[in-house]
Every structure is written in C-alpha cells, then in structure tokens.
Amino acid sequence: MMKKIATIQDISCLGKCSLTVALPIMSAMGIETAVVPTAVLSTHTAFSGFTFCDLTDEIDKIKEHWVKEGFEFDALYSGYLGSFRQLELIKSFFATFKNDGNIIVVDPVMADNGKLYTGFTPEFAKEMKKLCDTADIIVPNLTEAAFMLDIPYREDYDKEYIDDILIRLTENGAKKAMLTGIGFEDGRIGAYAYDSETKEFFYYTREKIEKSFHGTGDIFASTLTGALTGGFSFEESMKIAVDYTVECMKVTLEKDPECWYGVSFESAIPFLLKRINKI
C-alpha cells in the first residue's frame, strides 16, 4: 500500500512555502499527501498587505471525519501554525492519529536570522515548544531553537553550544532534534541532529551559498519527512534533505535569480527523484 502523510500548515496562495511546497515535494516522492490547511493567505508574510482567512474551525471537523473513515497515516507533519488555539488542536490531532508505527514531525516555523516572523511572540514560541515535546522529530533553525528555549540567539556558536541546545530540545519528550542552517567550518552549512534515545549526533554539510532564500526550511522539512516515510534512515533522510535544499538554491541562482520570494524547487525535482532512486 502507498505510504500516506497528513500535513498541517497554511496555504500561502503565492510564495512557494508551506503547503504549496510540501504537497508537490512529498507527492513527487511517491507518497500520498493529505492536507489540513490551517489558513489561506494571499502570500506568505514576507510580502506586505497579505490577506488572511483563518481555518482553525475546520481542523477538528476534518479530524472527526477522518476518524470516522478510519484513515491512518505513516507520518503526521506540522509546519507554520498561526495561533495558540491551533497548537492545542494540533496536539489533539496528533494524539488521535499517533500509533506504534508512525512518526510525528514538527517544524516549529516561527523565525529566522535572529528574528520572529510577523505575527509571532516569544510566548507563542514557548507554547510551540510544548507541541515539539510531543514529536518524534523536530526541525527548528537556530533562531527558533533559541526562542523555544528562551536563550539568546548567537551567530558565533561552537559545537558545545549546539550540542547543549540539541540535548535541551529533547529533554521533555521530543525524541530527535535536527537543527538546520548549522556549519562548524567556514564556507560549509547543513544540518546537525541528535537522537536522544541512542545519544548519537549526526552532522552533514555542503558548500555554503551566500544568499538567504525564503521557503527553504519548508522544503527541507518536507523532503526529510518524505524520505523518512519512504523508508530511508534518519541520517540518510537528513542528507537527502540537505542535498535537495542546496540543489534548489543552486538552480534558483542559475535559472531564476530575480525570484526573491521562493526557490525554484520545481526545476530540482528530477534531482530529488534521482537522489532517492525513483528514476
């Protein structure tokens, strides 16, 4: 039977992030992708003047119907969530569909480069941490990790500081934490992860591209979730997600450098399918 993921995040109608990247990426990876849209925005929040239609009231209704139909999922994956109430509803959604064989992935989308995105507060970050505590795998960037742990954001980190963050992120229930955007050598960047059950650390980097792109966190988390659901190991899934994210950035610089609001992940899909041995 085909593997199935349920992903819970907003639809930013234009902007190449959240559901408009998670759905095509995980579908292309050969996984059935069910969606729970939490809001509809005309664009992501880096644009000014975006519209916003809240769909919080639909979350429980969708859940109840899926329960009645007897649906089960191989992975439950949440991304951008916009309110305290949504955090509570997602906890209940996870508790309903969690079983012995599936995984919960939480990407605590809230912040980057030391700053919270429009609309988020430090209090929200602390509540998001509690959702993370219910997950098998969490994928914050360093800014999100710092807000969730209520510690200062540092750009000049060393391995000891990052090890400590990963351990603290997994102290209250989250089994594995993967920090994105980490590199200990000049000119390298990638992911650094910790498995609290085996006490193993995992580190994988590529050449650093000196430009910051919007939406790459969502691409990373979607690819990671797709690879894990497809049966790749934790470490291999991390490498696949780093490699595809880098490829998306490279293709954007080559083919679409004017596009400031998202990356050309579409052009790099053949790369991803080769990388996971599908073509």
For ligand PXL, the binding residues (CB under 6 A) are: 10, 12, 17-18, 41, 44-46, 80, 109, 117, 215, 217-218
Nearest CA-CA partner of 161 in 172, 148, 145: 145
Quickly tell me which residue has 């999100």 as its tokens: 144
State the minimum distance, in angstroms, from the CB of residue 261 to ligand PXL.
Answer: 10
> Taking a C-beta distance cutoff of 8 angstroms, is the pair 176, 195 a contact?
yes
Q: What's the CA gap between 148 and 182, in Å, rounded?
A: 17
φ and ψ of 31, to 5 deg: -115, 130
Which tokens in the block code for residue 151? Answer: 């510690």
Helix (H) or strand (E) holding 84: helix 84-97
Gap between the Cα atoms of 27 and 47, Å rounded: 27
Residue closer to ligand PXL, measured from CB, 153 or 203: 153
Closer to ligand PXL by Cβ: residue 94 or 213: 213
**Residue 39 or 174 with smaller CB distance to ligand PXL:** 39
Of 239, 217, 234, residue with least CA distance to 108: 217
- Nearest distance in Å: CB 159, ligand PXL: 28
User: Minimum Å distance from CB 2 to ligand PXL?
Assistant: 27
Which CB sits closer to ligand PXL, 51 or 99?
Answer: 51
Structure-token pair, residue 258: 């004017």
Residue among 117 and 201 whose Cβ is closer to ligand PXL: 117
